[in-house]
Amino acid sequence: MPDPQYQDPSELAGVPDAFQRLWNPHRAAYQTRGQDQVTGENNCPFCRAPQHSDEQSLIVHRGSTCFVLLNLYPYNPGHLLVCPYRHVPDLTDLEEAKATEFIQLTQTAMGVLRTVARPAGFNLGINQGKVGGAGIAAHLHQHIVPRWGGDTNFLPIVAQTKNLSATLGETRRLVAEAWPGSRAG
């Protein structure tokens, strides 16, 4: 007797298309957990990070209005975030000087990553709002993800495992030391 949970696809709603789908329901928890945890500046990891040492918070550079740190859950080695110190949710909340530094730090980060990691390209992104995919929508941040040919494979999907070639501490040190004008070590 056939399992009642499974039906013949031809009996279900929808029109077949050419797309194959990789279902990743475990990603929903990652996308929504940040929303539930961050309720304001007092429990925002991006507000708390500058209060600790660079090594502890994975900060690679502190600017006057924004800072750069490694993503604690990187898509690829060297995945950086640019954050304003001010707790604002939207790019339009930044005054011109802060927006300028935000972009300048993004440009510098790309140059530093080109020097230390030699990526073939980058994904840059700001996910605005919970429905826009922001893991932490309450505090603006831009992703800088270095990319290499062949840097994706089946492991994240099948084994829920990401292969990273260096520790976060070592990556932070390399990027911080290569930052222009750095005295990091």
- 143 labelled catalytic: no
Lookup result for tokens 């013949």: 8
Active-site position among 61, 139, 141, 143: 141
Query: How far is residue 65's CA from residue 5's CA, in Å, rounded to a whole number?
Result: 55
Burial class of residue 164 (count of CB atoms within 10 Å of its CB; 0-12, 13-18, 19+): middle
Strand partners, 80: 70, 144
**Tokens 């898509």 sit on residue:** 75
Q: CA angle 115-118-119, nearest 5°?
A: 130
CA dist., res. 109 & res. 176, Å (int): 10
Detail the DSSP E strand segments found in 63-134: 66-70, 80-84, 121-125
**What are the residue numbers of the active site?**
141
